[in-house]
Chain A
Amino acid sequence: MENPQSERLLDITRRHFFGRAGFGIGSLALSSLLDQRLFGEQSRPLAPKKPPLGAKAKSVIYLFMAGAPSQLDLFDYKPKLNQYDGQPVPAELVKGERFAFIQGTPLLLGSPHRFSQHGQSGAEISHLLPHFSEIVDETAIVKSMWTTQFNHAPAQIYMSTGHQIVGRPSFGSWATYGLGSENQDLPGFVVLLSGQSQPDGGKSCWGSGFLPTSYQGVEFRRSGDPVLFLSNPEGVDPAARRSSLDLIRNLNEAHAAEIGDPEITTRINSYEMAYRMQTSVPDLMDVSKEPEYIHSLYGTTPGQNTFANNCLMARRLVERGVRFVQLFHRGWDTHGSSGGDDIVNRLSELCRATDQAAAALVKDLKQRGLLDSTLVVWGGEFGRTPMNEARSGSKFLGRDHHPRAFTMWVAGGGIRPGVTVGRTDDIGYNIVEDAVSVHDLHATLLNRLGFDHTRLTYRFQGRDFRLTDVEGELMKKVLV
């Protein structure tokens, strides 16, 4: 069984470890420092590790569209649904079905948006996504995703951690736990938020669960400086700072050896990372050197908290070897209960805010030769119904939550470009071909990162846990 936790980092000897301290440990409790925990995984949790299988990709940019985008108005074109617009949904389809808001027999709702074919693959894409239409031949479109959850918070947590109740490690945590990071000066797992507030699932969407907290996603701020308090106080040069950090670390290590609480080791690592971020983050954030054509490609305006800026930042992070970057853009919950959450105006607005930058990211990664080693994932937590929700007789057009079928797309390292996986029925209600569960998606993405998902485990309280629980089949059709 591959359990990276049990692997010892052979390159780190005790001498080497303390050599970095720059300050003799002198009379500190040396013997107790021999505690394995201090020299094992937790001392350099983000050291890069080689995955057991051949890896096709080494980093992930996950564009999480929180709120659940309407697949029927963006990707899953259903002429029949347009034809049946306004008809009652066939009763046998919805018998015994639970919806979040719909009751009674709802009416089918055709898409008010036009679709047309694009690329050599001929994928039919909504006019709301003119930029994505240009990259269809780079992506694998999965029209047959399904989930078990139909409320936002549990569904986002399920999509993020493979389990609907908070407390399991997130995908990004598993990936950094398994692979470490190629950049020791930035967190291995960075989270960037845009849109309306943070996702419903909250910080648990990027939590580390029972994995050491060094693997949890680090959230950059939504407005103002992404990371506050990066600069040393005036007059404190890097040497003085290093010297006081050495004191902090030495005293914390001595205390850890005595008290045995692994949380102290996590804090030691946080401080070391903080120190390195002091130089790495300003460089990361300085987008002024990006040429104008990059800004116009992404549609970025420096200094704004937009999805576009976050996409550009994601590329810069991956370029620097950060393992996992997750963007959350919240707002896709288009019920049509008012003019502010419908599939006519609101959905268009969301597409305008995200389409160009998401496509630009793929194009930009490609032109830099990074697409082959980066997985780009786009999708929400569930789909939306083929029926008009018409909550309380609302006149606005909108769709309710639909866990039975939705669309996501993936691109990049080891993903077959230009394919479409799966099919739904004529009105997009049920999957009729190649159903893909959340565990299947996770299994496939982990495979591309070089892991057999059944073997990337962590033993906790007597049981080996994994991201895919006890399920997960590879999506063979998207593998190169």
Chain B
Amino acid sequence: MARLALLALAWSCLARAADFTQVQLILTASCVACHHGAKGSGGLALDSAQAIAQGGQSGPVIKSGDAANSPLYQRIVSADKAVRMPLGGTALSEDSVALVRAWIEGGAPGLPSASARTGKHWAYIPPVRPAVPAVHNQAWVRNPIDAFILARLEKEGLQPSPEASRETLIRRVSLDLIGIPPTPKETDDFLNDTHPDAYERLVERLLASPHYGERWARPWLDLARYADTNGWEKDDRRSIWKYRDWVIDALNRDLPFDEFTIEQLAGDLLPHATTEQRIATGFNRNTLFNEEGGVDKDEEFWVNLVDRVNTTTTAWLGSTIGCSQCHNHKFDPFTQKEYYQLMAFFSNSDYKEKDYGDTSHKYVEPLLSLPTPEQAVRRDELQSKIDLLETKLKTQTPRLDAEQRHWEARMRAQEASWKALEISSARSLAGTKLERQADGSWLASGENPATDTYVLEVRAAHPEKLSAIRIEALPDSRLPRGGPGRDAYGNFSLTKVRVEAVSSGQAEPVAIAQAKSDNGRMKSKKEKPDAPVWEVDASREDKRVARRLVLTLGKRLDHSADTLRITLVHGSEFSGQGMGRFRLSATSGRTPVDSLQVPAELRPVFEMKPEARSAKQASDLSKAFRKVAPSLNASRADLERLQDELDSLGIVTTLVMGDRATNEQLSAKMRIRGSFLSPGETVYAGTPAALNAWPEGLPKNRLGLAKWMVSRDNPLTSRVAVNRFWEQYFGHGIVETSEDFGKQGDRPTHPELLDWLAVEFMDRGWSQKAIHRLIVTSATYRQDSRVTPELEQRDPYNRLLARGPRFTVEAEMVRDIVLSASGLLSLKIGGPSVFPYQPGGVWDMPYNDDKWTMSKGEDRYRRGLYTFMRRTAPFPSMSVFDAPSRETCTVRRLRTDTPLQALTTLNDPVFVEAAGALAKRVIDEAGPAPENRAALAFRLCTGRKPKPNELTAIVQNYESQREGFERHPERAAKVAGAGAKDADMAAWIMVSNAILNLDETVTKE
């Protein structure tokens, strides 16, 4: 619907030449019935200038200046009835045909010209500065923005609104430029400023404020998906707040947008990159990081590259190039190959492999340490010791060789101590067929029941007292996918094991002290008491090896029993996960668990003669040995201690980008259907052909990419940026889908204005402040926001801007306004993220026991953007006001209005505390008269003085609240805290709470 309305608007907007209007009347009467909207016949829509210019499936339909070769004309004049348009309808009158012809011959005025020539989507044609339109009411125009807006309004027969009052204006522009409402004094100064340029001077003051950077960092941080944790299941903390502070600072010093771009995308690659420039590259380190055990390190790294391509192209190009990860873009001219060419720019990251213990490794990208000088000294000392130890632990010496030979001998003796247990009877309780194999192992076949229990009996007497029993799970080609389990994937799950000693039919349970397997920890199950004893996930080929489980017995088993009964219970919630092939053995050795020291994957290597092992095999085995080598125990302990000390030095770090040195062209593998697991052709770094050409001489790396983004002929970057500015001011962009400038996105309501602003932005040296200044000093921006019934009917979303903007402020600003009105707000800029009050239970995560510990002092009252952002558990009072979780790049926030927001601002202890502070403030500052107190409270919240009727209502409410509290002093004491004037204080707190909850308080008007 919004779309239809927009098309209608775009139509009248572009109907500049009178003859185009006539042509449109003809098209509407005869053609639009079939040729309209996205599903127009032949892919052709004739219901807007843009659509006409774009053409249909067979290309453009208008060849400007050449009617005879314009398909549209050809079809309306064709003599062939099967071709002539309208198909099956009455032919156009001669007059109409002549008019269409004349219009095309005359250059088809009214169509976007480049589009008409090339058939290219408007957004891929670089903006050219359009002429500023002439308007009747020239007196209203303060700068060219107004001419574009007014030209359209005049066309629609609408009048702009009068200028807003000064009280309204200073609050509006303060919220827009610094995100904090004006103080009463600032408002008074402005009201009393008699300079003709009082408003412009106010704007300059605000643009120079250090809080300007804070306010404008917020939308940028949504794009950058900035947060303080890694995301995913574990969602551990990370340190990257220096990047957030860099954004604030860069905006404050009005770092030109081209440099702003280059430093964030490639600051590390600049010659002699400064620390600040390296910090800026945190933009693309705000990717999530999945530390779960089972995650493949290569795939995880690749997922980050995907996010970098998608975020970078959304933030700068307003494009959904991300769609081409899996297939060529279905609507926009981006191919899958181009997607991976973009990815290639990010593919050369300088990462280190980090061992996460158990069996998992991750790639860790660069971290910039920002130590104090003292910290640097201590860090260097520790680091050199750590380096030495790490080298020692990595280095196989002749001594270790000797020790390893000894260890291998010991392991062989260990192996020899295990004696096969001959199973004399094996039966399944659910019908599985169990058969003995030649090597003494047993194979399961036949019916595969959902759950099953194998009962194994060993009758042969064993010579010594047993200390442990071992179960081996063996792969077998007869099992699904080679086993060792029986489910569709070859997995099994042993949920319980029982050992019993049976004498003359009497079964005596044998306690199992420990059950330990050689397939690493089962991470997700480890804390559950009812976790299965042993599960093998054989779904990856390299995991499909013989594995073992050692059951250490609670006490040694003597030979008094005649039978040993071992019961294997397969009770998994997943169906059919029985063991497929298994073997039993037992030992009387003292250290049975040592049988697991050789990793399962390396067992075949271990069993080879040393001289038969390849170099890689030998080195893998030595590596495994060093992890258990007794002579290295002390070094391993030292390393751990030194690491702990290093970690506890408290050096500030931040995540940055870094590339490896290379002389090769950067490349990436295409991924068939966008799947990491199916690599395709290798492609080299490059940019989409539909956009600007790669400038000569730029390096094909991130630095080149950044410069390409901000090159003069990039058709998107400038438009996308100015559109986002516009969106912040007016509640919607000139292109409403600010995240998608492609064919599926909305068309601009004011295309010429968009282009004019885009060109102006570049011409003014990419100064963001210059564009902000231009917008806020326009007459368009300065209009009153009153909604007349006529405007509500004709333009309910205010797309034509016949009035000023009016909408609820964003989540962070709700907090800032309330804290500011109450006088609690800390104006401290930057620093680590803070922990204001948050209700209990919000941080309740499955794999993380991190706690929200409330900050002390002024850090409890910092601006919203400094609140610690945990991706999986966002700050509730902000998410209720539509703040995103920062897991992905967010261009536009939704704006909702729900009772949950009302409950938050009424009852959240933060807001209640603010009401208390506001009450105290008005009592302290406004003198004893209730009228004065009420007026000050109202003004602090809404920015204006109350009208007499409003003042009366507030004072009456105060009086009735006070009477209530006087009747119930115990309640007053709870609200106000102990004190002589409880009832009075409590009443003012209630009044303050109410005023803080007014629509006007949380609205930019």
Interface positions of A (Cβ within 8 A of B): 23, 26-29, 100-103, 112, 165, 167-168, 187, 203-204, 207, 209-210, 213, 216, 218-219, 221, 223-225, 227-237, 239-241, 243-248, 250-252, 254-256, 258-264, 266-268, 270-271, 273-274, 277-278, 337-339, 344-345, 348-349, 352, 391-397, 460-463, 465
Contact = CB atoms under 8 A, between A and B. Distances in A.
Given A348-B575, A393-B678, A259 B903 contact: no
A244 B994 contact: yes
Interface string B472-501: 000000000100000111010000000000
B673 interface: yes
Contact of A339 (B539, B808, B842): B539
Contacts of B948: 27
B675 interface: yes
A200 B4 CA distance: 25
B1005 A243 contact: no
B481 A240 contact: no
B130 interface: no
Contacts of B574: 344-345, 348-349
A218 B901 CA distance: 11
Given A223-B844, A224-B844, A251-B950, A261 B897 contact: no
Given A235-B973, A262-B787, A396 B539 contact: yes
A391 B678 contact: yes
A308 to B, nearest CB: 16
B903 A235 contact: no
B902 A270 contact: yes
Interface stretch (B56-64, B457-465, B788-796): B788-796
B993 A244 contact: yes
B841 A270 contact: no
A234 B900 contact: no
Contacts of A203: 894, 896
A213 to B, nearest CB: 5
B907 A229 contact: yes
B991 A233 contact: no
Given A247-B994, A255-B1000, A240 B1 contact: no
A395 B481 contact: yes
Given A165-B3, A229-B907, A395-B489, A271 B899 contact: yes
Given A244-B991, A248-B997, A395-B481, A465 B1 contact: yes
A337 B949 contact: no
Given A218-B899, A264-B999, A235 B986 contact: yes
Contacts of A102: 673
Contacts of B991: 244, 247
B573 A167 contact: no
Contacts of A27: 948-949, 952-953
Interface in B69-117: none
Contacts of A241: 906
Given A27-B949, A229-B839, 20 more contacts: A23-B956, A224-B844, A228-B900, A228-B903, A229-B908, A240-B961, A240-B964, A240-B990, A243-B990, A255-B1000, A259-B787, A261-B787, A266-B897, A271-B899, A271-B906, A339-B489, A339-B539, A392-B675, A461-B1, A462-B5
Contacts of A232: 906-907
B636 interface: no
A260 B798 CA distance: 13
Given A23-B957, A232-B907, A240-B990, A271 B950 contact: no
A464 to B, nearest CB: 10
Interface of B: 1-5, 326, 481, 487-489, 491, 537, 539, 573-575, 672-678, 785-789, 792, 796, 806-808, 839-842, 844, 876-877, 880, 894, 896-904, 906-909, 912, 948-950, 952-954, 956-957, 960-961, 964-965, 968, 970-976, 986, 990-991, 993-994, 997-1000, 1005
B957 A227 contact: no
12 contacts: A167-B1, A210-B2, A224-B842, A229-B904, A235-B971, A235-B976, A237-B968, A248-B997, A271-B997, A277-B899, A391-B673, A395-B481
A247 B957 contact: yes
A248 B876 contact: no
Contacts of B796: 210, 460-461
A28 B900 CA distance: 28
B1 A210 contact: yes
B677 A391 contact: yes
B999 A255 contact: yes
A244 B961 contact: yes
Nearest to A216: B896
Contacts of B788: 260
Contacts of B1000: 255
A239 B964 contact: yes
A233 B900 contact: no
B806 A261 contact: yes
A278 B899 CA distance: 10
Contacts of A260: 786-789, 792
Nearest to B938: A251
A460 B6 CA distance: 13
Contacts of A218: 898-900
Contact of A227 (B488, B677, B900): B900
A237 B487 CA distance: 61
Contacts of A247: 953-954, 957, 991, 994
A101 to B, nearest CB: 5
A239 B968 CA distance: 12
Contact of B898 (A23, A209, A216, A244): A216
A190 to B, nearest CB: 11
Contacts of B993: 244
B323 to A, nearest CB: 9
Given A239-B964, A247-B954, A344-B488, A233 B975 contact: yes
A392 B678 contact: yes
The CB with the most chain A CB atoms within 10 A, among B899, B907, B949, is that of B899
Contact of B998 (A248, A273, A465): A248
Nearest to A113: B575
A248 B996 CA distance: 9
B930 to A, nearest CB: 14
A374 B1005 CA distance: 43
Contact of A28 (B880, B898, B953, B975): B953
The CB with the most chain B CB atoms within 10 A, among A248, A273, A460, is that of A248
A462 B795 CA distance: 11
Contacts of A28: 949-950, 953
A261 B904 contact: no
Contact of B908 (A228, A258, A339): A228
B974 A234 contact: yes
A392 B975 CA distance: 64
B957 A243 contact: yes
Contacts of A101: 326, 673-675
A348 B487 CA distance: 13
A101 B677 CA distance: 13
A205 to B, nearest CB: 12
A27 B720 CA distance: 49
A236 B675 contact: no
Contacts of B970: 235
A299 to B, nearest CB: 14
Given A228-B904, A234-B975, A252-B999, A391 B844 contact: no
B678 A270 contact: no
Q: Which 5 A-B pairs have the closest CB atoms?
A: A235-B974, A392-B678, A274-B902, A392-B677, A235-B975
A270 B998 CA distance: 12
Given A112-B488, A244-B991, A263-B808, A26 B973 contact: no
Contacts of A100: 326
B954 A26 contact: no
A391 B953 contact: no
A398 B706 CA distance: 41
Contact of B672 (A103, A167, A267): A103
A173 B9 CA distance: 27
Contacts of A219: 900
Contacts of B792: 260, 262
